[in-house]
Structure 1
Amino acid sequence: MRRLFRTFTLGLCLAACQPAQEGDPVASVTVGRDGPATPATPAPGATIASQVESACRSVIFENTPLTDCIASPERHRISTALAGSDGNFGSMAAFAATRDARTIAFAVNAGMFEEGGDPVGYFVSGGERLKELNTAAGPGNFHMKPNGVFFGTGDRWKVRTAEDFRANVSERPQFGTQSGPMLVVDGRLHPEITQDGPSRTIRNAVGVDEQGRAHFVISSAPISFGKLARFYRDALKVKNALYLDGSVSQLWNPATDRIDQGAPIGPILVVERKVPDDE
């Protein structure tokens, strides 16, 4: 289970550390147009930058560049897919080659996975549960409790801790993916994440704001868990945010011809336009 057992212990404050500081709310955020954050190559047939509006924006938070891609319930629908190397796609570019780029707002990697691309935790695609909720103890970021689930049906999307999900969600959603750790829980930083720890890598996450919009954030430079969590809490005012992954984090944004390359990925979150911009 290659992805599950890779742990960024330097960025997480374990039981022996002092309690994390909450930090001060951010005073300002610089926002611009989205551009490639990591080496990117257009997918064949996916060049539509002059035809559609980007759902992603570039943001500078505490001197760290981020890309914030926003899914709106009025304009978008969300689904999941698998991009594992075992009979599936294996890369964002391979996935993009199978889809009509005019219908896609953006897509991101959707959580941690095992060898072959199978998700480590709960995973639902098209209303079919492919993996049950994983509440087991273990090493690695996934098992930093609380971990959580991003899920939804129709235009209602939520992030809940895994325990909250198990206790309160009785109907299977149309899509769902489990990852960990939670970055923000009920408006507070995860208790075992430091404010700005020394472990830095490209990371991505998801959270839903008070307007019901899902913010998919990927860093354009190495970032700590704490800074990413504080961006959700302080800049986006998101009360519950879920870490998706690091190092392998990738984004496909057809509107800017961005398609990230890198290590093989597994689960994917796909945000589609309800009405293509050219219609």
Structure 2
Amino acid sequence: MILRAAIALLCLLAAPAVACEQITHRDARFTVCEVAPDARVELFLRDEAGDILGAFSSVKSRVDGTVVMAMNAGMYHDDRRPVGLYIEDGIQEAPIVTRAGPGNFGLLPNGVFCLRADRSDVIESRAFAANPPACTDATQSGPMLVIDGALHPRFLPDSTSRNIRNGVGTSADGQRVVFAISDDAVTFHEFGTLFRDTLGLPNALYFDGRISRLYAPAVGRNDFGLPLGPIVAVIAD
């Protein structure tokens, strides 16, 4: 009994901060990364001089720990400033945007990925603006992929618009956080059903397409490309 308890404790202590794997959904390949409930998840935009980091390597050099996963986390302007709400370490850099607009960001409803000490949530933007939670970090993007278990109303099952896409989904109790990136070009509808049907998450948010990138050394991923705006990272102490 004592030996079994010791083994269980060791397994718990050795549990990774994030577990990534490649899965197939609707004949398309995806890499999904599920975060451990007690893992550190943080957003990064600028260095100490105020310059935008823009790369996974720059984030790695800034943290006191080991970055075990990172991903682009929200849309940005040409100068890489966030398009919508952005909060880092409790400080808001950009305000929330609740009006409709051009492009995927303005395809309402869009949403906010909100990190707090005891939970993480994807929240529809207008609901967030009506009752803002005290997010330690937050990034706004769009469109929402899944809203309270329903796909975004504008998604078409027979759409021909395909792209590499990435996003994040959360559980109703805020304890599950799963990041995903498509390894094949997929539609919004296909991407939304990944979170709803295969991952079983009631709320999910689209981060971006085309520029979508993942750093996950455990599965041999370190995607390169143009400089990024907001970046989310999972950090092991």
Give distance in 2, aligned partners of 1:59 and 1:93: 26
- What aligned pairs does 1:63-74 form with structure 2 within 5 A after superposition? 63-74=27-38
Distance (Å, rounded) in 2 between the aligned partners of 1:79 and 1:236: 22
Residues 191-211 of structure 1 deviation map (CA, whole Å, 9 limit, x = unaligned): 001125211111001111256
Q: For 2:80 and 2:114, how far apart are their aligned partners in 1? A: 19
Contact 1:146 / 1:181 at 8 angstroms: preserved in 2? yes
Alpha-carbon distance in 1 for matches of 2:221, 2:166: 16
1:83 and 1:117 in contact (8 A); partners too: no
TM-score between both structures, scaled by the size of structure 2: 0.85
Pairing 1:199-238 to 2, within 5 Å after superposition: 199-210=161-172, 212-238=175-201
Residue ranges of structure 1 left out of the alignment (5+ in a row): 1-51
- Whether 2:24 is the aligned partner of 1:60: answer yes
Residue by residue over 1:165-195, the C-alpha shift from the partner in whole angstroms, topping out at 9 and shown as x without a partner, is 11122x4310100000001111111000112
Q: Give 1:197's aligned amino acid.
A: S
Higher relative contact order (Cα pairs below 8 Å, separated by 6+ residues): 1
Q: One-letter code of the match for 2:222?
A: I
RMSD: 2.0
**What SS is found at the alignment partner of 1:232?**
helix
1:87 aligned residue:
51
Deviation at 1:158, TM superposition (A): 0.6
Moved more, 258-267 or 156-165: 258-267
Q: Give the partner amino acid of 1:272.
A: I
Secondary structure of 1:205's aligned partner:
strand
In 2, Cα distance between equivalents of 1:83 and 1:63: 38
Which range is displaced more, 184-193 or 206-215?
A: 206-215
Structure 2 counterparts to residues 172-183 of structure 1, below 5 A: 172-183=134-145
Asked if 1:243 corresponds to 2:230, the answer is no
Return the offset for 1:96: 3.4
**Structure 1 residue 227: deviation in Å?**
0.3
Given that 1:150 and 1:160 are in contact with CA atoms closer than 8 Å, whether structure 2 keeps it comes out as yes
Instruction: Give the TM-score normalised by structure 1.
Output: 0.73
Shift of 1:72: 2.1
Matches within 5 A, 1:1-279: 55-74=19-38, 76-82=39-45, 87-99=51-63, 103-169=66-132, 171-210=133-172, 212-273=175-236, 276=237
**Aligned letter for 2:33?**
C
Determine what percentage of the aligned residue pairs are the same residue. 38
Amino acid at match of 1:177: T
Moved over 3 A (4+): 93-100
Secondary structure of the residue that 1:183 maps to in structure 2? strand
Question: Matched residues in 2 for 1:57 and 1:155: separation?
Answer: 25
Separation in 2, partners of 1:79, 1:259:
18
Aligned length: 219
CA distance in 2, matches of 1:178, 1:237: 22
Q: Deviations over 1:20-40 (max 9, x none)?
A: xxxxxxxxxxxxxxxxxxxxx
